[in-house]
Structure 1
Amino acid sequence: MDGIDLALVETDGVVIHGLGPAGFHPYDQADRQLLRKALAAAAHLTDRDARPEALAEAEAMVTHRHIRAVDSFLASCQLGPGGVDLIGFHGQTVLHRPEEGLTMQIGDGRKLAAHVGIPVVYDFRAADVALGGQGAPLVPLFHRAMARNAGLTGPIAVLNLGGIANVTYIEAGDDEALIACDTGPANALIDDFMLKRTGFPIDRDGAHAACGTVNEAVVDSLLDNAFFTRPPPKSLDRNAFVLPDLSALSVEDGAATLTAFSARATASIIPLLPQPPRLWVLCGGGTHNAELVRRIREATGAEVAIADDLGWSADSMEAQAFAFLAARSLRKLPLTLPTTTGVTAPVSGGVLATPPDTGAMARLKR
């Protein structure tokens, strides 16, 4: 909930031909407050189309912020609407309970397409969930395309550290072998704890955690959850793990404890993989938390690299991935596989919204 990432990608949905500039537009404090209200409002919904008051207000805000972000980004790249063929618009996840067939990402793709004059692919997860998949993670096929471009050989793991951490395992010697799943919280519990204790929703650079002492009993209790022994594919809602009562701990010790939990939750997937990854490539906002990165290196016992070390972009990979997936959706190519989400068969997904300007679709068909 920090803001909107944007990235320009040249791709046909199979090969990544080029990565262009990237941008970021932060949400302000009022936006984040509204998103937290939306999360609370969505917690008990049973209809993914329902929009009670806080959700409707948050969806309008998310849509407007994306319109503003796209306009600003295109201007900074000196690109008019005709310079971009397609937008992949993930939106903001406020509800994800795939075991109940529910997933909700707010943000109106039709309004975005109409305002910016570019076709938009949105609602990426619903088709997978409807066919029995976990609806997450969606990025493994993009991770594999990036690994191919870099000439990396497996077994490797690409780990995205958002609110929830998700991993893509790429097997050695078999380009088609992919395993993916969520591994547990990455930043979610740390951010919630810091907001509660300091009023600021982040442990910047992991500075507090680095000065603290881990409460091993708390970590053990958090790891005593059937999720961590369940084989992939599997996924989590952001609120699947509730912030424990850490009032007896200092800010530093609480941050250290939750950071250790995130790292060890990541490592819990290793026994469930065909082989331990020889290399972990980290991306996402959690890469800025040096203490979290250090503890992941310690917990996995393997080589750990930040995506930037490979010439990738740790901050932009999610945005790049949804551009790539939008191109795949347009061509009706699979976005998810049985080994990445548990869906019954490879399935495409996404909903295409076209602007009133029919010339936009003519450009796509060329």
Structure 2
Amino acid sequence: MASFVGVGCMSGSSMDGLDICCVEFTGDIFTDLWGYRILAAETVAYSKQWSERLRDADNLSGIELIRLHVDYGRFQGKCVSTFITKHRLNERVQFVASHGHTVFHKPQEGISFQLGDGEVTAAMLKVPFVCNFRAKDVTIGGQGAPLVPCGEKYLFRNSDICINLGGIANIGIKGMRGYDICPCNRILNSLVLEKGGGQQYDKDGDLARSGDMVPEVLVKLQNLSYYQQDPPKSLWVDYIEENVLPILDCNKYKVENLLRTCTEHVASMVADACFEAKPSIATTSHHPNRTVLITGGGALNKYLVELIGQYLDAQGFEIEQVDEETINFKEALIFAFLGMRCLLGEDNVFSETTGARQDSVSGSIHRPLSSGSAKHISLLH
């Protein structure tokens, strides 16, 4: 039985902060039966300055983008180093892995770029650092997304379907298939910010609950061209900004009404994705009702989850109950797992989910400054 301790980091398109999660993975390398235990986890909220820099990153000049790439690498390294010290994990952590913060994701052009210079971050750590998980898959014809089905396959194998409600809602089906479903917190949070008043998000979905449906807006959302594509497929911010946000006209409609409409849209699209996956899990489910694990920031939106639950219940699905740390840090947890598999030389991105020509061991490994980390680097052997 093998046991490894790593730290995973995630920064999503909702731009609320850097999720950091220290996890102990225990399992068998040869049979790929793995379990996990979260040792510590927290979110480092972005300052107003960092939020603005990340939001404007795709408009920067070349030199400005490189400067931000280095600065974010330094920021990330400082946050992780502080986290490890704060939680007294210095003697336990064997590696760190990070998704980075995506600025460009255009797999059709062979491009996916995540902020955070790996060598800069590694210089602030005492253990190997793994990042840049998407580039290889994109290079061999994949979408570079979704990446989390690998972790779901091995760590959440008792869940029939995994839904993550982040900036974008995505689905994983028994760790075998997955794709981005629709915009989620990216549009909900944008509407709340448009309303003003200091709120960053619709707490518990109360604003949406108070609004009325706008049928013509719902029809436009349901008819987005992205939904006509077959998986594997991935959605990114530029598509949302160009095709979705213009539909949400706050000058024409009340923000509460748009929030109500968008929340309904997300719930219906998530439920449809689960229903379409039903044939794939018909012969593999261990439960009389198909189980759905819902995680991510949107899982704390009570109204959104309530609507999803109503749809799923009518289709014979059951929402799993899970601890709050897993809800909040599942993606960071899984990036730690992807980093571990990279260091072990095991496939961690699957062609079945991304559409690439083959599976791959993805991630760039960056060594720490110290040469005295043999006990950590032994993980590679």
TM-score of the two chains, using structure 1 as the length reference: 0.87
Superposition map of 1:99-248 within 5 A: 99-148=108-157, 152=158, 156-170=160-174, 178-198=176-196, 200-241=199-240, 242-243=244-245, 244=247, 245-248=249-252
Superposition map of 1:1-366 within 5 A: 1-11=15-25, 14=32, 15-41=34-60, 51-53=62-64, 55-80=65-90, 82-148=91-157, 152=158, 156-170=160-174, 178-198=176-196, 200-241=199-240, 242-243=244-245, 244=247, 245-270=249-274, 272-275=276-279, 278-300=290-312, 301=314, 302-308=317-323, 313-365=326-378
> Which secondary structure state, in structure 1, belongs to the residue aligned with residue 23 of structure 2?
strand
The range that moved more, 12-21 or 181-190, is: 12-21
Q: How far 1:232 moved relative to its partner?
A: 1.9
The range that moved more, 61-70 or 325-334, is: 61-70
CA contact (8 A) 1:94 1:106 kept: yes
Q: Deviations over 1:33-65 (max 9, x none)?
A: 111111444xxxxxxxx8442x33432442233
Distance of 2:36 and 2:275 partners within structure 1? 35
CA contact (8 A) 1:231 1:272 kept: no
> Which secondary structure state, in structure 2, belongs to the residue aligned with residue 314 of structure 1?
helix
Distance of 2:360 and 2:335 partners within structure 1? 16
What is the RMSD computed on CA atoms of the aligned residues? 2.2
Alignment: residue pair count:
343
2:24 aligned partner, one-letter code: E
> Which secondary structure state, in structure 2, belongs to the residue aligned with residue 319 of structure 1?
helix
Aligned-pair identity in percent equals 31
CA contact (8 A) 1:91 1:105 kept: yes
Question: What runs of 5+ residues in structure 1 fail to find an aligned partner?
Answer: 42-49, 171-176
Distance of 1:327 and 1:293 partners within structure 2? 32
Question: What runs of 5+ residues in structure 2 fail to find an aligned partner?
Answer: 1-14, 282-289
CA contact (8 A) 1:195 1:201 kept: yes
Change in CA separation of 1:250 and 1:320 when aligned onto 2, cut-off 3 Å: same
- Tell me the equivalent position of 2:3: none
Q: How far 1:187 moved relative to its partner?
A: 0.6
Distance of 1:365 and 1:298 partners within structure 2? 49
CA contact (8 A) 1:31 1:61 kept: no
TM-score of the two chains, using structure 2 as the length reference: 0.84
Distance of 1:247 and 1:52 partners within structure 2? 37
> Which secondary structure state, in structure 2, belongs to the residue aligned with residue 303 of structure 1?
strand
